[in-house]
Amino acid sequence: MMTKCLAVVMALSASALAADGDPDAPIPVTYKVTRAAGEVLLAGELGVRPSHTAQAERKAGRGPERQQLSVELQALPSGSYSVRASWADTTNDGESVQWSPSVVVKPGAEVELKLQFPGGGRVLKLRVGDKV
């Protein structure tokens, strides 16, 4: 009888582990970066592995215009994530913006981070989902 109980407990533990998946599985991060006036510069979704960095980039034509976003996640004991983002963009006029905000986000929550400067600014919206 003891053997059957142990086998059932082991099977339940194995199925729970399979349901939770790999602790290093990618976490979906939806992002949108806009100018302060609302023009979308870069938007999409990244699969970010905890303790790793994922990157999205767009380069327009032959000019210097370019947008780049890097996102790094750290899982916290509370179940939330520490998110460190790095943003860089360069306009065709050669002007550049670099910004590296950090925030703690609960899974499923959306946050909005703002950078303001004379003549403009950037808005970064992030939503960290559950594991894929």
pLDDT in tens, 113-124: 999 999 889 999
- pLDDT per residue as tens digits for the range 85-123: 999 999 888 889 999 999 999 999 999 999 999 988 999
* Residue 9: Cβ within 10 Å count: 10
Neighbours of 23 (CB within 10 A): 10
For the chain, give the number of residues: 132
Cα atoms in the Cβ-side hemisphere of radius 13 Å centred on 72? 10
Question: How is 76-108 classified by DSSP, letter by letter?
Answer: -TTS-EEEEEEEEEE-TTS-EEEE--EEEE-TT
Structure tokens at 77: 């004991």
**Would you say residue 9 has pLDDT above 50?**
no
DSSP structure class, residue 23: T
Per-residue pLDDT band at 131 (split at 50, 70, 90): low
Structure tokens at 6: 């142990």
The CA–CA distances, whole Å, from 108 to 9, 64, 88 equal 31, 35, 26
